[in-house]
């Protein structure tokens, strides 16, 4: 532990497993108090118990479905009332209910994907950042996007559209909020060994489509995504905003 986030409060969404849980642990290791959220309290409680056993009193589990705007507002209000305003927001929660050709998607799956992946990110950012604006406070937003938002993504086209939207949102908000000392950046992971990506990771032919195009010829583990998120949340990145940083083993070099 080097204390790079000592005294900081952070919200990490989608933190009941995978990349979100790994980010929460990395932030706790660096001294932050981390409020973790996802749809179900039970999964959050398990993650909190595990990380708190290693870094006591660092994790606060609090359920919130970011696909529901009213829940987001109530969640941020509760965080502020019980723990104080956060200094860092990591938007990580996402969904991908449809895997297949773009023309085959049903409207309900389309709506769910955009409600969570775009509207959810935006509303969570608005609720947190507006409090920074109202109190003349600096802050850092880290949006977890994806390399599929930067490249064509057969069978993941709708999900990829939402991630491209997040990259665009990151750039525009960085311009709109920069003078208020609020930084907004994005991280674009490549293929990561998570439950979320298991359809691809556990299919050798599909996984090979990704790994063959990457310089490192492999997929990542969730912990390999966390270092850049610590950096972007810390004062080390005080002059970094509006950027989308690919953590993809070199996938986007081709």
Is 159 a known active-site residue? Answer: yes
Report the candidate in 198, 206, 186 with the shortest Cα–Cα distance to residue 246: 186
Residues 6+ apart with CB under 8 A from 211: 191, 217, 218, 219, 249
- pLDDT for 198: 66
Segment 166-195 shows an average pLDDT of: 95
pLDDT per position as a tens digit, 157-167: 999 999 999 99
197 pLDDT band, cuts 50/70/90, is low
Asked whether residue 204 carries a pLDDT value surpassing 90, the answer given is no
Q: What is the CATH number of domain 9-194+222-249?
A: 3.40.50.720
Mean per-residue pLDDT, 91-118: 95
Q: Taken in order 17, 21, 23, 29, is the CA torsion positive or negative?
A: negative
Region 237-250: mean pLDDT is: 96
d(CA 184, CA 83): 22
pLDDT digits (tens, 9 = 90+) for 72-88: 999 999 999 999 999 99
pLDDT at 151: 92
The domain limits of the chain are 9-194+222-249
Q: Does pLDDT of 100 surpass 80?
A: yes
Bridge partners (DSSP) listed for residue 40? none
- Render the burial of 210-239: b for 16+ CB within 10 Å, e for the rest: bbebbeeeebbebebbbebbbbbbbeebee
Please pick, among 27, 55, 98, 159, the residue that the annotation labels catalytic: 159
pLDDT category at 1 given cuts 50, 70, 90 is low
pLDDT of residue 155: 86
Q: Where residue 33 falls among pLDDT bands split at 50, 70, 90? A: very high
Residue 191 clears pLDDT 90, i.e. is over it? no
Percentage above 90 pLDDT, the chain: 83
Mean pLDDT of the chain: 94
């Amino acid at each position: 532990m080097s204390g790079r986030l000592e005294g900081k409060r952070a919200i990490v969404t989608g933190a009941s497993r995978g990349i979100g849980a790994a980010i929460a642990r990395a932030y706790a290791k660096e001294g932050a108090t981390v409020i973790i959220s996802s749809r179900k309290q039970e999964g959050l409680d398990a993650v909190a118990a595990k990380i708190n056993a290693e870094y006591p009193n660092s994790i606060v589990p609090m359920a919130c479905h970011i696909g529901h705007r009213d829940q987001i507002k109530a969640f941020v209000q509760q965080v502020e009332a019980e723990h104080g305003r956060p200094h860092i927001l990591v938007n990580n929660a996402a969904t991908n209910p449809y895997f297949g050709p773009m023309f085959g998607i049903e409207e309900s799956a389309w709506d769910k994907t955009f409600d969570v992946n775009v509207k959810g990110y935006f509303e969570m950012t608005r609720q947190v950042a507006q409090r920074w604006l109202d109190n003349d406070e600096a802050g850092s937003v880290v949006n977890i996007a994806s390399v599929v938002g930067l490249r064509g993504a057969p069978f993941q086209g709708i999900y990829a559209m939402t991630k491209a939207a997040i990259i665009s949102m990151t750039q525009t908000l960085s311009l709109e909020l920069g003078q208020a000392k609020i930084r907004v950046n994005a991280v674009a992971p490549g293929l990561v060994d998570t439950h979320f990506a298991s359809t691809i990771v556990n299919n050798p032919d599909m996984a090979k489509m990704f790994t063959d195009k990457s310089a490192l010829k492999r997929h990542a583990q969730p912990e390999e995504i966390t270092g850049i998120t610590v950096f972007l949340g810390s004062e080390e990145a005080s002059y970094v905003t509006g950027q989308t940083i690919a953590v993809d083993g070199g996938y986007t070099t081709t």
